[in-house]
Amino acid sequence: MCSCTRVRSVQPGAIRGAFLIEALVAILVVSIAITGLFALMANLIRASGDALLRAEAAEIAAAAVARIAAENPASLTDRYATPESAGFAVLASAAQRLPGVTRTANLPTVSVADGPSLGTRRVVVGVQWQAPTATTPHRASMTTIVGP
């Protein structure tokens, strides 16, 4: 018996569509990679926007703490107790630069309590905002001790 293997000869016209299939697969792979790249860039843009809003909120809180530190510690409760108070009104006005902050929604908070020593006050300033795509508000806060 002969254990010969038959070798088929391929005619040149039989592989005619192989290059087209390879090109289509390459286009599919490249398009999937580009879609992933665009999704990554969209997430980076969203994250950088969030960082800018956090920095703005921290700057507003820091400015309020600096203003409060320059005031008389005994009068802080009266100046920041309610939204109608003069000091609170300035803070609320500055906070309206952030998205989602209005005269009734996401207002900043100011807490004034007795400090660790006689004549000092512990002040906590909180600033809230809510991005248009966010479901919950974000918050930045600063704490300081004010005294003579």
pLDDT of residue 1: 56
**71 domain residue, yes or no:** yes
Look at residue 140 in the predicted model and tell me its pLDDT: 92
pLDDT for res 119: 83
Q: What is the pTM of this model?
A: 0.69
pLDDT at 105: 86
Q: What is the residue range of 113's domain?
A: 17-146
| Residue 3 placed within a domain | no
Which pLDDT does position 15 carry in this prediction? Answer: 65
* pLDDT score at 5: 67
What pLDDT sits at residue 17?
Answer: 74
Would residue 5 count as lying in a domain?
no
In a domain, 10, yes or no: no
Task: Tell me, yes or no, whether 112 lies in a domain.
Answer: yes
In a domain, 2, yes or no: no
Q: Average pLDDT of each block of 10 consecutive residues along the chain (148 residues)? A: 62 69 93 94 85 91 91 85 86 91 89 88 92 87 88
- Residue 8 falls inside a structural domain: no
The answer to whether position 77 is within a domain reads yes
Q: Which residue has the tokens 């969030």?
A: 50
Count of structural domains within the chain: 1
Distance between CA atoms of 117 and 87, rounded to whole angstroms?
24
